[in-house]
Structure formats: C-alpha cells, structure tokens
A and B are shown apart, each in its own frame.
Chain A
C-alpha cells in the first residue's frame, strides 16, 4: 500500500502547473495585452478618424476625470446595486424552481410550456414589456435582471437534478435516508456544481440585461453613462463607460471565483470522480 500515498501528487501538479510553464504563460498574456493596446494606438494614429477612436491615453484621462468628479462611482454604484439585488433574487427563485422541477416530474411537465415560451426571449426583447408593467424606476431593473438570472439558474439546476445518478439515490435509500435527508444530504450536494455553473453564467448575462435597461430608460448607471456620451458625441466617454463595464464584469467574475466557487470546491470533486 506504499504506492497510494503518492496518489495526491499528480493531482497537485496538474493544478498548479510546472513553474516555468506558468511564467511562459504570464509572459504571453503580457505580450497579448501590449499588442491589444498597441493596435488600438496604431488604429487611432494612422487609420481611423481620431475623433471616432480616441487614443488609449485619452480614454484613461477621461476615466480619471469621471472618477474624480464622482460621476463614475455613482454610476457604478447604481448598476451594481441593480445587478446584486436582481441577480441574487433571481438566482434564489431559479434554484428553488429548478429543484422542484427536477425533483417532481409533474411540476416539470406543467412548467415546460412556459419555460419553452420564455427561453428564446432575450432580456432585451422583454424590456419594452417590463417598462410598461413596472415603469422606468428601479423595480423594472430588478425584474429584468432577476428574470435573466432566474431562467439561466433554473435550467442549470433542473439539469443538475436530472443528472444525479439514480443509483446514488438508491444507495442512500439503502443506507436508511428519509425523503428529507435524501434531499438535504444527497440531492442538494449533487446539484451544487450545476447551480454554481448556472450562477456564473447568469452573472455575465445580468450585466448584459442591466446595460440594456439603462441604455433605454434610466437616469443613472453605466448604461446611462454610455448613452449620454452618445447623445453628446463624446466618444472618449463612451469608451470610458465600456471599459468600466468590462472591468466590473471581470472583477465580479473574480469575486465569484474567490468566494462561491471556493466555498463549493468540495462539491466540484464529484465531477472529477470519473
């Protein structure tokens, strides 16, 4: 049995990677960043009307000004609040409905027509209706983001419930688990990886939904900032808004990975168990 002690090692290695290959990757990513900004600068200087494409430095300066005036932070706060409320509310609804749908065939059948109807309808397509029903206030934004998150999380959760091997439920039955114990100790842990995937996807889509809403009907938020700059034809501010959006998206995904993904890491092991 001496050999089994080494089982862990290859796993660790494949996760952290060989140190030198790690460095090479970092260097390549650095080169990629420089190339991206360089191309932008060259396009600005030689090929495109500079008014339509401001230089990277100009955009950076505009961002800095917006930051100092407090305008950018206000917009970030407005958008973030809408996303957080809508996203977590929607995710919670999606998880609960998804578990019910996955667990009970009858509920699944009853909800299928509704879900099939909603599935192809993007948040943008629903925006006019949401505005008519909920007005141009905050409620409409929460509903739109919430709807987006709920649908994605629901579909992933229900899929996860159906993916649980039937023999796992049977094993738990044999071991004496009651219906509730089965749900709490077997089904839920088996579905968590799918919920996490759904929530991570939903986070990205929540950004898309909120910007769409803010472009059309809002007096604050990053979408509003972008739309304002279009009306005033301040392309540097348009870019500042886009970059803020991109950074915010990357930041939230990073926070997601460091919190929710970390917290649920042991449930992901189940997917490695092949």
Chain B
C-alpha cells in the first residue's frame, strides 16, 4: 500500500480583507501517520482541511503532498465529510456508491467488482450492499463513505469530524473500526475533531490549534499508548488532562 506525506508550510488564510483565520500554520505529517487536529470551534480546523484537500486556496504559504504543491482536489486525497446525507449519492445503492471512484477512473469490470467487494466487506456492510443510503442508520452511512473513499485507493484520508453527528456508542464502535482499518491499510490520516477522547484514542500525534482568529499550531502532543486503545488504558487520563489544560489555557487574542 502506498501512502504519503503532507507538509503544511507557513499557511495563512484570510477571507476578505479583515478576517484572518489562519496565520502561519506549520505542520508535517509523515507517511502512514495518524494526526488529529484539535482546537476550539471557529479556529479554522476545517479551513486547514479544505486547503489540504484542494477545495480552497491559501492566501499565503503552501501545502505539499509528497513534495508537490497542492492546487486542486485529487483522488490521491480522499475527504470524508460529517454530513453523510449530502456526501453520499442517495440514488445509488451502497455498492454503486462505493464503486463510484473506480468507475469514474475507468477501472475495468472484474477488477472493479473485486475492489468494491473488498471494501464493502472491510467496513462490515456485505449484507447491505444492495440497500440505498436512506435505508441505513447514520453510523452505517458513515461506513459507506469510508468504503467509498478507500475503494479509490487514496494515499491520504482527510476526515472532517466524521463521527461528530453520531451517538456515543456508535461513535466509539466506529473509532475502533477506523483504527483497525488504518492499521490494515496504512493510510496517512488527517482527522479533525473537537472530542479530546477521540483524538487520544486515534492519533499518533495531537495537533492543537490556537483560538481564532489568527490561529496557528500552539502545541503538539505525541500519544505513545499501545493500540488498540480504550479510555481506561495506561496514561489515557493523564494525556486527557494535559490536552484539556492546553486547550483551556490558550491565550485569548
């Protein structure tokens, strides 16, 4: 499996003339690394992700993917949105949704079905391949979105609070599944969340953005717990307090 690195260099983003959202964000994400971006709401987390995806452009600075400057969305970087209703194609079955990327890229038939079958199975939806999205629960829809992204064999997964709209139990299950899938596929992941527990459970490193406007990276915490992780493990609580302290002590601008 290929994977690749993302380098964010002195990223600045202003909307209009007055509101500077990001100022001097620097971050390097290594091959196959799982990074969580954490920060108070309105700090520009989603803006960072949209620029990395190629949906939005930096005012200053640049983002590199494997050393190449990002200017447009590419299949190498897959985005997973929180709003599954908007993101999934409601008129296509689960199978057809997952098949979308390979079909657009012209992957030929026997191979295409194999790919689709593999990823539908990977997210545990083999029994629901012929359902339509509106027949599935929120958590299952999110699984479809993950499978759809993976079926296109991206190098990087960009996830914008993907489990934020799910109930606590489903969220926990999906966190476990995502971690398993990440270990199996070795993708590079940039994952946005405002849930401290979620970031500790998933991340190799937690990157904290300062309070906006003019936010930048204020702290980076390495999470060294063995995987798979659970909230009761080792120093989980200690890291939680540390992250919470960092988040709350962010200097108000």
Binding site for B on A (CB under 8 A): 1, 4-5, 7-8, 11, 165-168, 170-178, 181, 185-186, 189, 192, 266-267, 269-274
Contact = CB atoms under 8 A, between A and B. Distances in A.
A230 B154 CA distance: 73
Nearest to B151: A175
A224 B230 CA distance: 80
Contact residue range for chain B?
35 or more
Count chain B CB atoms within 10 A of each CB in A185, A267, A273 and give the residue with the most: A273
B154 to A, nearest CB: 8
Given A170-B79, A175-B100, A269 B90 contact: yes
A48 B28 CA distance: 88
22 contacts: A4-B136, A5-B127, A165-B85, A165-B86, A165-B87, A166-B86, A167-B81, A168-B86, A170-B73, A172-B100, A172-B104, A173-B54, A174-B53, A174-B77, A174-B78, A175-B101, A175-B149, A176-B75, A181-B104, A189-B89, A189-B91, A273-B134
A176 B99 CA distance: 12
Contacts of A267: 90-91
Contact of A167 (B83, B128, B148): B83
A176 B101 contact: yes
A176 B85 CA distance: 20
Contact of B90 (A1, A5, A185, A273): A273
Given A189-B91, A269-B134, A176 B104 contact: yes
Interface string B127-169: 1100111111100100000001100101000000000000000
Contacts of B101: 175-176
Nearest to A272: B134
A171 B54 CA distance: 12
Contacts, number: 98
Given A174-B79, A175-B148, A7 B86 contact: no
A221 B149 CA distance: 57
B89 A168 contact: yes
Interface of B: 53-55, 73-75, 77-79, 81, 83, 85-91, 100-101, 104-105, 124, 127-128, 131-137, 140, 148-149, 152, 154
B133 A273 contact: yes
B134 A4 contact: no
A71 to B, nearest CB: 46
B89 A170 contact: no
Contacts of A175: 75, 78, 100-101, 104, 148-149, 152
Given A4-B140, A174-B53, A273 B104 contact: no
Contacts of B148: 175
Contact of A178 (B104, B132, B133): B104
A5 B100 CA distance: 25
Contact of B136 (A7, A189, A192, A266): A7
Nearest to B101: A175
B134 A167 contact: no
Contacts of A171: 79, 81, 87
B132 A266 contact: yes
Nearest to A168: B86
A146 B181 CA distance: 55
Nearest to A165: B86
A1 B152 CA distance: 26
B152 A176 contact: yes
Given A170-B73, A175-B101, A177-B104, 7 more contacts: A174-B53, A174-B78, A176-B74, A178-B104, A269-B91, A273-B85, A273-B90
